[in-house]
Structure 1
Amino acid sequence: MRAYQQFLEAKAPVAKPAGLLLDGVSVNALLKPHQDAIVRWAVNGGCRAIFAAFGLGKTNMQLETVRCVIEAVFAASAEAGFGLIVAPLGVRQEFMRDAATLGTKLTFIRSWEEAVAANAADPECRIFITNYETVRDGKIDPALFLATSLDEASCLRGFGGTKIFREFMRLFQNVRYKFVATATPSPNDYIELLAYAAYLGIMDVGEAKTRFFKRNSEKADQLVLHPHKEDEFWLWVSSWAIFLQKPSDLGFSDEGYDLPPMQVHWHEVKSDIRGREIERSGQHTLFRDAALGVVDAAREKRDSLKLRVDKMKEILTASPDDHFILWHDLEDERRAIEVAVCGVRSVYGAQDLAHREATIIEFSEGEFQHLAAKPVIAGSGCNFQRHCHKAIFLGIGFKFNDFIQAIHRILRFLQDKPVEIHIIFTENEREVRRKLVAKWKKHEHLVEKMSEIIRKYRLNEHAMAKALERSIGVERIEVRGDNFTCINNDNVIETHGMEENSVGLIVTSIPFSTQYEYTPSYNDFGHTDDDPHFWAQMDFLTPQLLRVLQPGRWACIHVKDRVIPGGLTGLGFQTLSTFHCDTIQHFRKHGFAFMGMKTIITDVVRENNQTYRLGWTEQCKDATKMGCGTPEYMLLFRKPQTDKSRSYADVPVVKAKKEWLAPALLGDEPALDEDGYPIGGDEPILDHDKGQWKNEAGYSRARWQIDAHAFARSSGERLLTAQEIQGIPAGRVFKIWKAYNLQSIYDFEHHVMLAEGLEMRGALPPTFMLMPPHSNHDDVWSDVTRMLTLNGAQHAKGKEMHLCPLQFDIVDRPINQLSNPGDLVLDPFGGLMTVPYRALKFGRRGVGIELNSGYFLDGVAHCKAMEAKMAMPSMFDYLGVRDEDPASDQPEGGAGTAEAAE
């Protein structure tokens, strides 16, 4: 087990330094002490993020970091290289000014050829600056540079959803030393932070999501930190990014670094609350709803434009001599500002880049009084503090990051005047204002959290690594009942001590690689870097599963393929992992024989709400980029039996045949075989009117033939019409459709017609699939009841629900088909102990192993309750009526239980 222990110890998630030391290279003496410390930390790391508050010298730190990397590499290996800084429009002059102060040669370029020519003319010219648009348009290949730094890397905020992000991931993939510098990465926007980590090569976004965040099964990319992982997450971020709010966070003096006071003025203007909209039902609205949605907010802005512009003019009139930045969101707002404010100049997307940049620079130099701009254009990187200390937001919106960036164009260290922020909104936007203020408070809280970590650990990566060390193993707890055993432990360690050939059946849902992480422990299989790392840990477990399983018996492994974002593959569209195929190869590698798989149908509408990969709108735009729903699979493996001359298991799973007593025969009585067939004949010649069953509870040949063939004949009735199910509640429609779909000959176009009929009547739900295709084939399970899990009991008791609960239907079928009464059924990933819980239900013995202590304790309670239930005689036992079907308390498919859960 020593090898396993070493494997776990190597899991610490701290970003590893590149090991680039500044031997023989000195940091510019003009840098402030905090800037010097950060440059040394960044160079040593090789791929790092500098998140320094406005006015702390972010530009100086970038220039010096790139210079030191180039010189350190040359000193170590004589390898000459160039450095490239990529900056937003209007920021070039800031870099040029600071570079001149530092004595650093900096040249603006628009192509690689310009860089080569500049270096040929002056060999000291090795650091260059360009705009994002130049890189985006393919005029410069970043891979040709030794070191790069992205200033205000707003393109990375749209992780996976923007073309420019995917392009930058691809273009910078082979750059050896990468840096990101921005003043306000929003701690509210976890996706932004994960995008920075992915760009820098620290950790895959999907892995980071599952390692630190709760899963939202209704909405993709709504990330909520696990409470027990909050400290770990921010320590991990601090291992590759420095969030610096003031020099004293690193132990240096704050002299000269005091933010000016800021006053925020909220100006509410009246709204026209009369309703003008017509709802889907045809009803006219009397009063307009509060503008909460994006579409409603845009309409509210258009309708209130004149009132808001009048309020803006009133504010400007009260300060006739002050310079103002006028922030807006819509082009209509820009045009209204240009009409209302004399001498105002605007920057907007359709302008020539050079003209736009010149206008921004001229405003920052105080050459005119009023600038109108969108935060997305001039809200990042620009420094307006020297001549402007007042700003007006003509409206409010949902994008907090753009909002806070825009504020800090004037609220900065070294600003010598009090800052005034005027925010204009309508009374219908009070809820938008409330959400904006809440995000602002959360932003301040999380920034303080980061500052606290920096103050505690400074830039000591070793101390962070020690703080990030998780627990290895748990204190083993075992709870036994008469027919179950629940164990709180690492399953590799636990199965290593189990008796060989002791288990009759394995049923489990293995972690889907890095998809979910259930505990803050290095033992957790979800706490792995990627698929190969996950399978490396499974290499310790799977041989033990083979060892403890009885020869000839089965392991049923529940899996699902995972969605891979296009930004990670470089393809620009989402793809699927081959996880179920990888599982097959893994188990075969360790000696299991692959016997087949069951396909478990999932709801594609709910899946799209989680992944955004199957959207109807995108399907209409281009069907070629779309995939299909990802079903789950139950993979079936068998441990080879001891006697290879026979195919039977060492201990077969035997089913009693459902047999009939030989009836009266017509004519002469031929010799019959054991199944009642005449010896040498093809058909039985029995008088079935006089036959009778010997044992009603057995498994009949007829049932086997129907199960094996898996087709249901048409009832001969006419096709169902959409009108007949209009107005019926959705739950009832689902049941009607299922029964009809399974009993009739399937017609694809008729299926579409029915669904379209419901859609036209507004009765097709957008949140789940009301009319999925059902199947009677025994290798496709379309009737698994999703709500029928132990999470129902967890929710009823107010306890934590499992991230990925296993449905009863998935567990029950292999237990009944592939094990004998009294067999030991094992689940090495026990969770809430669904497998031992259901094993008890069907007269088997259950063993569950679970690392998460909370799940383990809840699972023990469930198993104890089931064991008590099975031991308690019912009224029917007293009456002498026995329940022949141990699952008879559920309607077929579990629909009744699902309704109860609802």
Structure 2
Amino acid sequence: METKNKEYIEFIERKKKRPKEWGFSVDESKLNPLMFEFQRYCVKRAVEVGRFALFEDCGLGKTFQQLEWCKQINEKEQRPVIILTPLAVSGQTIKEAEKFGYSIERLKDDVNLKNKIYIINYDQIENIDAALFCGVALDESSILKNFEGKMRNQLIDRFQNTPYKSCWTATPSPNDPMELGNHSEFLGVMTRSEMLSMYFVHDGGDTAKWRIKGHAEKDFWRWVSTWAIMISKPSDIGFDDTGYILPELNMIETIIETHKRDNGMLFNDIAVNATNFNKELKLTLVDRLDSVADIVNNSTDNFIIWIKQDAEGEYLRKLIPDAIEVKGSDKPELKESRLLGFANNEFRVLITKAKIAQYGLNYQNCHNQIFASLDFSFESVYQAIRRSLRFGQQHMVNIYIVTTDTMQNVLANIKDKQDKFYEMQKHMVDAMRSVFTVKKKKESQEVDFELPKFLKAS
């Protein structure tokens, strides 16, 4: 056993190398004075490394920091910088930019580009000539999650030679090394396959699942902390949490008892799988959605209703007269108009799917959400909730989960992944605290970054 550990350590030492830093030093006094101290620190670190990921919880000002990062790169290189966002988020980002004094422009074509910051939706990536930009910022970069996905491959390939890169998202998926590996590969730190061979082993016979080697866990998170910061609140990296205490979250579960079915058993099944999941949603549609409509129609508050199937939206629109639905088949312009319209209180109830509106949008105007149907994706649920549960939300956030006695394993699965996510957050924060030293002074703040010994040049 001792020999194996020694061989592993020697292997790691041969493979480890200090990540190339593409960035440059930036005078903190030249950063936007409206930023909080922890935001200035994060931007300064991201600029200095040049290729960096910011995994920050919703409401910590990722958009503000992203804009400042782009501004610093643009001014240094005097070349265009591009931000990629999910649909509708570009509109909110432009609005945020105006508020904080930045000038950004939607990219309509790459002819006669000016020396400025541009923004475009991910679904228009094929219209981008990446060679024209010196820097790229991926907003809601969890889009890199699927290591076999077309978008993931396009982003990595198109921006392979871009000098400055940054990723901005709230949640790398819990216990999913693929997403962290994809972020690392996009940034040019280490390929996903190299990361897996160095730090992970197959989990039993399932080659799709990986787990960190027990003796490599500390080294892994220290390595991640050299190209990323993960925080759930400013105090995670030594700063003041004033103004960053989340409102109370009120989870309200409604479990509907289904009618006894002719299944040859005493009770209905209490678990679904990927094969019969959609069928179960159809069988329970009326019972679930009648309950949802009852909650919404007995209130005058704003609501977001998350659905999974088009038939659910059609049924709910009949029961809730003042509801507006955003569907996947809608034209992009209509989607954006309605998603932003809800944020501007143009209508009271928004019905949509998490895959359409779970990323990036700020719905602090709404503190009530209903999950009319759940699937097995913790990330979708987490991101959807955080459209309302954000720093700055003025009300307790009510999350109604309407499910049935036949789908209890879905809810249990979500809760299990939530526990794993919080465990991952803790590991990352602990790793950062062992690497970063924060020195506070009365009027200014200096932050020294000390590389782990194993990353220092030999």
Distance 2:190 2:262 in 1: 49
Quick one: structure 1 residues 368 and 211, their matched pair in 2 at CA, closer, same or farther if it must change by over 3 Å? same
**Equivalent in 202, 205, 210 of residue 189 of structure 2:** 202
Contact 1:48 1:180 in 2 (8 A): yes
Look up the SS of the partner of 1:149 in the other structure. Answer: strand
Quick one: structure 1 residues 54 and 337, their matched pair in 2 at CA, closer, same or farther if it must change by over 3 Å? same
**Equivalent in 303, 320, 328 of residue 349 of structure 1:** 328
**Equivalent in 415, 420, 424 of residue 393 of structure 2:** 415
Look up the SS of the partner of 2:194 in the other structure. Answer: helix
Quick one: structure 1 residues 198 and 232, their matched pair in 2 at CA, closer, same or farther if it must change by over 3 Å? same
User: 1:308 and 2:296 equivalent?
Assistant: no
Contact 1:25 1:68 in 2 (8 A): no
Equivalence map 1:560-639=2 (5 Å): none
Contact 2:307 2:313 in 1 (8 A): yes
Quick one: structure 1 residues 9 and 220, their matched pair in 2 at CA, closer, same or farther if it must change by over 3 Å? closer
Residue aligning to 1:335: 314
Gaps of 5+ in 2: 1-8, 438-446
Contact 1:186 1:443 in 2 (8 A): yes
Look up the SS of the partner of 1:258 in the other structure. Answer: coil
Look up the SS of the partner of 1:215 in the other structure. Answer: strand
Look up the SS of the partner of 1:104 in the other structure. Answer: coil
Quick one: structure 1 residues 450 and 6, their matched pair in 2 at CA, closer, same or farther if it must change by over 3 Å? closer
Distance 1:97 1:326 in 2: 25
Report the Cα offset of residue 409 of structure 1: 0.4
Residue aligning to 2:218: 231
Residue aligning to 1:756: none
Residue aligning to 1:299: 279
Q: 2:104 corresponds to which letter in structure 1?
A: L
Gaps of 5+ in 1: 74-79, 120-124, 277-283, 473-902
Residue aligning to 1:379: 358
Residue aligning to 2:138: 150
- Higher radius of gyration, 1 or 2: 1
Distance 1:273 1:468 in 2: 62
Distance 1:24 1:344 in 2: 47
Q: 2:338 corresponds to which letter in structure 1?
A: T
**Equivalent in 339, 352, 356 of residue 360 of structure 1:** 339
Distance 2:83 2:384 in 1: 22
Distance 1:13 1:39 in 2: 24
Distance 2:28 2:279 in 1: 62
Look up the SS of the partner of 2:351 in the other structure. Answer: strand
Contact 1:15 1:236 in 2 (8 A): no
Q: 1:91 corresponds to which letter in structure 2?
A: V
Q: Deviations over 1:173-199 (max 9, x none)?
A: 221111110122233332111111111
Contact 2:28 2:44 in 1 (8 A): no
Quick one: structure 1 residues 187 and 434, their matched pair in 2 at CA, closer, same or farther if it must change by over 3 Å? closer
Look up the SS of the partner of 1:186 in the other structure. Answer: coil
Look up the SS of the partner of 1:372 in the other structure. Answer: strand
Q: Deviations over 1:144-194 (max 9, x none)?
A: 10001010024311111x222222222112211111101222333321111
Quick one: structure 1 residues 153 and 126, their matched pair in 2 at CA, closer, same or farther if it must change by over 3 Å? same
Q: Which moved more, 1:224-233 or 1:285-294?
A: 285-294
Residue aligning to 2:383: 405
Quick one: structure 1 residues 174 and 303, their matched pair in 2 at CA, closer, same or farther if it must change by over 3 Å? same
Report the Cα offset of residue 272 of structure 1: 4.0
Residue aligning to 2:372: 394
Q: 1:372 corresponds to which letter in structure 2?
A: I
Quick one: structure 1 residues 392 and 244, their matched pair in 2 at CA, closer, same or farther if it must change by over 3 Å? same
Look up the SS of the partner of 2:208 in the other structure. Answer: coil
Q: Deviations over 1:99-125 (max 9, x none)?
A: 223322111122212x62xx3xxxxx5
Distance 2:390 2:454 in 1: 33
Look up the SS of the partner of 1:255 in the other structure. Answer: coil
Residue aligning to 1:132: 122
Contact 1:22 1:72 in 2 (8 A): no
Residue aligning to 2:151: 164
Contact 2:92 2:340 in 1 (8 A): no
Q: 2:136 corresponds to which letter in structure 1?
A: T
Report the Cα offset of residue 288 of structure 1: 5.1
Look up the SS of the partner of 1:421 in the other structure. Answer: strand
Residue aligning to 2:443: none
Contact 2:13 2:454 in 1 (8 A): no
Q: Deviations over 1:248-276 (max 9, x none)?
A: 22222211111000010111011245245
Q: Deviations over 1:581-602 (max 9, x none)?
A: xxxxxxxxxxxxxxxxxxxxxx
**Equivalent in 74, 80, 83 of residue 81 of structure 2:** 83
Distance 1:396 1:28 in 2: 41
Contact 1:50 1:180 in 2 (8 A): yes
Contact 1:291 1:300 in 2 (8 A): no
Quick one: structure 1 residues 64 and 271, their matched pair in 2 at CA, closer, same or farther if it must change by over 3 Å? same
Q: 1:143 corresponds to which letter in structure 2?
A: A
Distance 2:303 2:12 in 1: 57
Q: Deviations over 1:522-570 (max 9, x none)?
A: xxxxxxxxxxxxxxxxxxxxxxxxxxxxxxxxxxxxxxxxxxxxxxxxx
Residue aligning to 1:38: 42
Contact 2:70 2:81 in 1 (8 A): yes
Q: 1:83 corresponds to which letter in structure 2?
A: V
Contact 2:55 2:172 in 1 (8 A): yes
Look up the SS of the partner of 2:402 in the other structure. Answer: strand
**Equivalent in 63, 68, 76 of residue 59 of structure 1:** 63
- Pick 1 or 2: higher relative contact order, CA cutoff 8 A, min separation 6: 2
Report the Cα offset of residue 379 of structure 1: 0.3
Look up the SS of the partner of 1:31 in the other structure. Answer: coil
Contact 1:110 1:140 in 2 (8 A): no
RMSD value, Cα: 2.5
User: 1:245 and 2:232 equivalent?
Assistant: yes
Report the Cα offset of residue 298 of structure 1: 1.5
Quick one: structure 1 residues 196 and 272, their matched pair in 2 at CA, closer, same or farther if it must change by over 3 Å? farther
Q: TM-score, normalised by structure 2?
A: 0.90
Q: Deviations over 1:841-863 (max 9, x none)?
A: xxxxxxxxxxxxxxxxxxxxxxx
Residue aligning to 1:570: none
Quick one: structure 1 residues 111 and 244, their matched pair in 2 at CA, closer, same or farther if it must change by over 3 Å? same
Q: Deviations over 1:745-789 (max 9, x none)?
A: xxxxxxxxxxxxxxxxxxxxxxxxxxxxxxxxxxxxxxxxxxxxx
Distance 1:71 1:268 in 2: 55
Q: Deviations over 1:10-45 (max 9, x none)?
A: 643553322422269921222211111111111111
Q: 1:108 corresponds to which letter in structure 2?
A: R
